[in-house]
Amino acid sequence: MLQLYTHYRSVSAHRVRIALNYKGVSYKSMFTDLGNAAADRLTYLNLNPQGLVPALVVDESLVIAQSAAIMEYLEERYPERPLLPGDIEMRARIRSFSQIAVADTHPLNNLRVLRYLRDKMDVPWEKRRAWFEHWLHTGFVAMESILANNEDTGTYCFGDKPTLADVCLVPQVYLADKYDVDLSDYPTLRRIYRTCLTLAAFQAAAPETQPDQRSKDDA
């Protein structure tokens, strides 16, 4: 069985959980945290030298880091219920949209970046918050424009079934909603987000449903 090293707060792990659930792939969650004890941290670094989550353990010879690489692997290994449907042009559009979240928005608001701004750069909370909202809005403005003016937009980002675009959109909107970012300028994104949350695959991947979050709440 596949093993997914995950953490409930990780936006990257969130999107991989959605992809696994949507494809109906069985996996075992392995919970890790950047604040783990030194021995546990060293063990994980031996598995994934970058030390970030997620990481997907396929077998002893293959450990895949980086959420985009993991999702591409899942798409190729489990082509049923495709997240990259359609012809080559449609798949390119879906990938392009997805990368706004994966490559341009999320890396600037990653927890380690925000902690670096706080701990190493002494950036006060108000300016860290402004940084956080600026990069979210920069991504959302582009995403809203693409979907609102695209004849391919349907019930979901591209058509009437979820695709990789929806998988990558939902964790970003979830994060913004959690921190009370004003999303009133993005009606298309909000509609699609609400629709995705009616699906079991998205519900089961949500941070608040993860065992490591529930354990933290019970502590």
* Domain layout of the chain by residue ranges: 2-80, 88-203
Q: Is 78 exposed, middle or buried (0-12, 13-18, 19+ CB in 10 A)?
A: middle
Q: What is the pLDDT of residue 58?
A: 98
pTM of the model: 0.95
**Is the CATH number of domain 88-203 1.20.1050.10?**
yes
Q: What is the pLDDT of residue 40?
A: 67
Q: What is the pLDDT along the chain (219 residues), one digit of tens a residue?
A: 999 999 999 999 999 999 999 999 999 999 987 555 555 677 888 899 998 999 999 999 999 999 999 999 999 999 999 999 999 999 999 999 999 999 999 999 999 999 999 999 999 999 999 999 999 999 999 999 999 999 999 999 999 999 999 999 999 999 999 999 999 999 999 999 999 999 999 999 999 999 998 666 544
Q: What is the pLDDT of residue 33?
A: 72
**Strand duo 27-31 + 62-65: pairing:** unpaired
SS3 109: helix
The structure tokens 């999702």 sit at 71
Q: What is the pLDDT of residue 219?
A: 42
Q: What is the pLDDT of residue 84?
A: 98
Strand order in the sheet with 27-31: 27-31, 2-6, 55-59, 62-65
Q: Is 90 exposed, middle or buried (0-12, 13-18, 19+ CB in 10 A)?
A: middle
Element (H, E) at 31: strand 27-31
Reported CATH class of domain 2-80:
alpha beta
